Structure 1
């Protein structure tokens, strides 16, 4: 059977519509059922505009030769007339049909029978036609056959809308992922570039702190050292976050650590020095070798302590405990004060999350997220519990023999 192709319209909208129909899993089955139940040799879903007729899906037992994406000259098809009338066209036999006998469509494509039903979307817009052809006469005008085509056309219309919405959601999600990736790359570059000027500020603070004969300068130097230390930790958190989100994850260097208790005491001392008005009680009874990343575990404790000092009651102590029990290194940090509300307790490890009661300038909301990533990199767990009676307690558990 011969056919003539029309203009080659490859507009983005048409490509989108073709892809959308190709994703509807029911369409091939619908076309097969049409051919099987009617005896027609060719069935198709066509995208029909005021300019083009394009096959979106086909079932071809006639060797008609039209594939998805193939086009016919619109004026040579009866879909052109069906679209204009927004009504089905059903022809059992072109030879004796009172309206379409001798019609140019039958001559061009050597047709004996034809049916075309409009596919109208729920919003009233015209998508195209569900059609079938055969070189031999076939009885198609019965209510059952026409009803089958109309039901299938309605089903396809609903599926087209559903696929369009799904694609829009997927495209929006992809755009958000791309924007998020660019944002995190920018954060990583910015954090890296901030290190050089911060190093200069830190060196200046060290020099001022050495001016023992000028107490005022020493105080300024100490204050500046505390500030640069906090800034350095913020930069570290940002870089760790960016690395984690960009796919490389939090880097750890696991090794046998014999002095983990001493390393953690250094962290506690730094936090005490930075917060002289707060009471920090520590019970660090490790007493054995722990296989871990020493620096990362120090960072874990530093972030947990920073969180406790920031959000805990200034009138109550912050308590740090560390020990090895049942083959696990267990580190806990507790503070008193208002508990974390149960409905938000599960969100505390999310990046950028901060409690509604947080004061402006209290940090980026990455500290606990970084803690969770460090613990996960050690194949451990990090949990939190919070209540009026017992306060808030974060407990990290790391396998000793990771």
Structure 2
């Protein structure tokens, strides 16, 4: 059955990464309106919007097709980019910049897996922007690949839910999910990351150094999104989060490094650490550090800035205990019941919460170590996440 306009609007609305992608490309370009548009031979419809200039377009809103450059992109299937329309011999005469008062513009086509044209990822601004850095276009193209892959997965998921009759079909769908994320997304992202690193070594002026640093942070953020989705896929396949358990004496140092990294990323929060791990722990140090990082970032994102975050790690009566506590709005009982499920964001829409996988992955890491992750939250005592792992639990886990 052919997909309708509403099908595509609903599909984009279901994709948790789209809002982050729009913010990433806005930061990468300095442009203040970004959107994902569905473009056909009859209409231009906004599916998702990030608007800092009060352009007035909301998801579901339409522009007259003939007034858009996206209609031309639908026909020639190539990106369009310019940074100063009024100074450009061609674009100063084009009707679209004049109609909408645009000086800077970038739009890259989004193609479905079968090669059909879906629409565009675009950014506009009434002010000029420097868009001659090739990494900007590469970032847009990487983002359109991510949107296309997630659209494909969304369509596969809903088609599978409607038509799936046996476990073999479900296994095939899950294998495709991992293949798309692992191959189609990570490879181009690695190329972009390496290119950004090489640019950071070049003798650039302060403005371009800042641009390269923003690009590098965007690459790091997208790498984290992909890694989170891969961990989700592995756990949903029934394999759980993979851990490599070894007897490790460096867990305290690794936790201290995590604390410093989160401090650097959230300088407005005071983090008080009490780390006392004076014996070896049978664990996957990288995964437990990931668990702590997820808890700390969650506390920094949702906790009150005026109050410190307390992190502690100790071995009490042969039990490894790691806790992160902060004050702020308490978590409601209904939210606590689903807090460790994937894609759950207690405070959506703040632009800070990622895909809502951090606590789910932390809980899966705890389970993979034979431990537990719990949360307590109240107006009087604040919110406290606690990971507990009996020291012999990891031995049992390693043997199974």
TM-score range, shorter chain: 0.5 to 0.7
Residues 226 and 274 of structure 1 are in contact (CA less than 8 Å); yes or no, is this contact kept in structure 2? no
- Deviation (angstroms), 1:393: 1.1
Where does residue 388 of structure 2 map in the other structure? 397
- Deviation (angstroms), 1:173: 10
TM-score of the superposition, structure 2-length normalised? 0.53
- Deviation (angstroms), 1:363: 1.7
CA 1:204–1:173 in structure 2 vs 1: closer, same or farther (change >3 Å)?
Answer: closer
Residues 209 and 219 of structure 1 are in contact (CA less than 8 Å); yes or no, is this contact kept in structure 2? no
Work out which of the residue numbers 276, 283, 292 in structure 1 matches 2:283.
Answer: 292
Where does residue 330 of structure 2 map in the other structure? 339
Q: Root-mean-square deviation (CA), in Å?
A: 2.6
- Deviation (angstroms), 1:317: 2.1
CA 1:302–1:356 in structure 2 vs 1: closer, same or farther (change >3 Å)?
Answer: closer
Paired with 2:243 and 2:271, the residues of 1 have a C-alpha distance of 28
Work out which of the residue numbers 188, 192, 206 in structure 1 matches 2:182.
Answer: 192
Residues 378 and 399 of structure 1 are in contact (CA less than 8 Å); yes or no, is this contact kept in structure 2? no
Does 2:297 match 1:306? Answer: yes
Where does residue 233 of structure 1 map in the other structure? 224
Residues 301 and 352 of structure 2 are in contact (CA less than 8 Å); yes or no, is this contact kept in structure 1? no
Q: Can you give the 5+ residue segments of structure 2 that lack an aligned partner in the other structure?
A: 1-160, 395-400
Counterparts in 2 of 1:167-178, with a 5 A limit? Answer: none
Work out which of the residue numbers 338, 344, 349 in structure 1 matches 2:340.
Answer: 349
CA 1:207–1:217 in structure 2 vs 1: closer, same or farther (change >3 Å)?
Answer: farther
Does 2:206 match 1:218? Answer: no
Q: Can you give the 5+ residue segments of structure 1 that lack an aligned partner in the other structure?
A: 1-170
Does 2:378 match 1:387? Answer: yes
CA 1:361–1:259 in structure 2 vs 1: closer, same or farther (change >3 Å)?
Answer: closer
Paired with 1:215 and 1:348, the residues of 2 have a C-alpha distance of 42
Aligned residues: 232
Counterparts in 2 of 1:7-46, with a 5 A limit? Answer: none
Residues 251 and 277 of structure 2 are in contact (CA less than 8 Å); yes or no, is this contact kept in structure 1? yes
Residues 366 and 387 of structure 2 are in contact (CA less than 8 Å); yes or no, is this contact kept in structure 1? yes
Residues 279 and 318 of structure 1 are in contact (CA less than 8 Å); yes or no, is this contact kept in structure 2? yes
1:34-86 per-residue CA deviation (whole Å, 9 max, x = no partner) reads xxxxxxxxxxxxxxxxxxxxxxxxxxxxxxxxxxxxxxxxxxxxxxxxxxxxx
Work out which of the residue numbers 357, 380, 384 in structure 2 matches 1:366.
Answer: 357
Paired with 2:203 and 2:269, the residues of 1 have a C-alpha distance of 26
SS for the counterpart of 1:347 is: coil
Does 2:304 match 1:316? Answer: no
TM-score of the superposition, structure 1-length normalised? 0.53
Work out which of the residue numbers 313, 316, 320 in structure 2 matches 1:325.
Answer: 316
Where does residue 280 of structure 1 map in the other structure? 271
CA 1:174–1:200 in structure 2 vs 1: closer, same or farther (change >3 Å)?
Answer: closer
Paired with 1:395 and 1:303, the residues of 2 have a C-alpha distance of 12
